[in-house]
Each structure stands twice: as C-alpha cells, then as structure tokens.
Amino acid sequence: MTTTLRPEGPETPTAEGGRTRRWLICANGHPVGALRTTAVLRGGQLWGEIAELEVREGRGRGRGTFGALAAEEVLRGWGCVRVDADISEPAPVARALATTLGYTERMRSMSKRLTAPPGLPAGAVVRRIDAEAFPHWLATVKEVYLGHLISSGLSPEQARAKSDADHVQLLPQGAETSGVALRRLYGDGPDPLGSLWLALRVRELPDGAPLAWVMVVQVDGPHRGRGHGRSLMLLAERECLAAGVRDLALNVFSDNEVAIRLYDSLGYRTVNRVYGKPLI
C-alpha cells in the first residue's frame, strides 16, 4: 500500500509574510487523513508549524507518522529552520507520536474562566508602566524571555530573532499600545516588586466571548518566593473583569515548574502543549 501527501487546496500566503497549505494523507490515492503546514516569518527566519493532523481511516498503521514526516519535508523545502506541533491536551496518542519523532515539549497553554474579582494583599499598590519606564522594563522582559527560549531548545540566534520579532509585533506603540495593560506592583517601598503585561481581547472564543492573555508575569529578583507572582496573577484577573473579559489564558514554558504549580493552584487548566524540534 502506497501512502502519499497530496495538496487539498492551493497554497495561501499569510498576513505575516509566511505561507500555509492543507494536505490530504492518501493510501493508494484514497484520502485517509489530513494536516496543515504553515511557515511563519520570525525575525528573518521561517518557523514551521504542523496543525490539524488527523487520521480518519486505518489508525495504527503508521499513517500519522508518515504525515508528520512528510510535513517536515514540506517545511524544509519552504526553508523553515524549526517545526512546532500544537497538540490539544486530550490527545495522548498525538503527544506520544511527537515524542517518538524527536519532538520535545517546550510550552503549554493554560486557561481559566473568571467569575468574581479577587482581592489583592493589603498594602499592594498598582501603577501603570508609562513611556518613561517602558524601555528599561522591556529590556528586562526580553532578556528573561530570551533565556526561556534558549532553555526550551532554541539556539541563541533563533531565540533572539523570535524575541525581537514577537515584541515588535505585540507592542508596536510601546507603552501606548492599545488593548494592553502594563502594570507594576509595589509594596511599602519605592522599588517595584514585579510587573504584569496583559493583552486584552486577543481573540474571540467559539461562543463569541473575548479572550485575554497573560503575556508576562515577572517578579523582580530580590522579591521572589514571597507570593508576589500570585498577587500579579490576581491583578491580571481583576484587570480582565474590569474590562468585561471573563476568559484568561497564558503560555508557560514546560521547564518552569514553579509557575505551573502556581497556575494550577489558581485554577488554570492545561488546554494544549507545544512540541518542537530543529529542522536543520
């Protein structure tokens, strides 16, 4: 039996300068599954993504493995230097396949439905990160993000390209970027305890409800281990509800066990995991 990958439709350019295409996995010319390949431009490099991988007929015959490997070859041909696979949490077979093919879990997405605004600790003071404070704050945030990217498996060059591109895309007007909340948390002293970057209404859920995203929760070094990360997350929930948003999500690197335990304790649940590996 011959298994092949056949285009289901034309290749389509993406708004970010990449391209995407959906493919059929065929056995002797008969469609038995499908997948999508996407190339995303990140800081001058192309990153590949494999999504929508499904085998509808003949599971357990290696057709998913063939589809993933064939998709990797497509992405190599497009010039991609890495590939990521975004796998939903209720898909243990897909996660096992990714591991078998040499992918490493590097990040997971977690979400929570918000109800009532939580209280902040006594004495907590919240201030906006203004244009004057923004450059120093951003430099610190980028360095922390860079370290997480490298520890998740990216090369320093790949990590810096992704970090630079992500921050230009997400904060194009700096501290004045619309739709974001940039906040610092203070206690009884002049120095900040930590900071929060929250993107409000990043997209709509299937039911039409808006979704907000925690981009950064960062506790400054001398103040770590004192519960300020929890306070910043409670602040994020308060900001969401004040803006009329009841669904909040975030990404967390898989090696950040402390953060994952914090989010678990606050009622966040894993929705999907990102697995990746280099293509060159």
Per DSSP, the residues of 220-265 read -GGGTTSSHHHHHHHHHHHHHHHTT--EEEEEEETT-HHHHHHHHH
φ, ψ (nearest 5 deg) of residue 212: -105, 160
Which of 53-62, 75-84, 232-241 shows the lowest per-residue confidence on average (mean pLDDT)? 53-62
pLDDT at 17 over 70: yes
pLDDT at 214 over 70: yes
Domain range summary for the chain, segments of one domain joined by +: 3-102, 112-271
pLDDT at 276: 94
pLDDT digits (tens, 9 = 90+) for 159-202: 888 888 888 889 999 999 999 999 999 998 888 999 999 999 88
Q: Are 68 and 95 in contact (CB under 8 A)?
A: no
Q: Cα–Cα distance between 31 and 4 in angstroms, integer?
A: 9
Average pLDDT, integer, range 56-66: 91
Q: How many CB atoms lie within 10 A of CB 5?
A: 20
pLDDT at 205: 82
pLDDT at 249: 97
Residue-averaged pLDDT of the chain: 92
* Residue closest to 114 by CA, chosen among 11, 224, 17, 250: 250
Q: Are 113 and 130 in contact (CB under 8 A)?
A: no
In this structure, the strands spanning 30-42 and 19-27 are antiparallel
Q: What SS3 class is residue 203?
A: strand
| 3-102 shares its CATH topology with 112-271 | yes
pLDDT at 268 over 90: yes
Residues 3-102: name the CATH superfamily. Gcn5-related N-acetyltransferase (GNAT) (3.40.630.30)
Q: Are 66 and 3 in contact (CB under 8 A)?
A: yes
Radius of gyration of the chain (CA): 21
In this structure, the strands spanning 210-219 and 247-253 are parallel
pLDDT at 1 over 80: no
Average pLDDT, integer, range 130-157: 90
Residues 112-271: name the CATH superfamily. Gcn5-related N-acetyltransferase (GNAT) (3.40.630.30)
Binned at pLDDT 50, 70 and 90, residue 265 comes out as very high
Q: What is the pTM of this model?
A: 0.86
Q: How many CB atoms lie within 10 A of CB 125?
A: 13
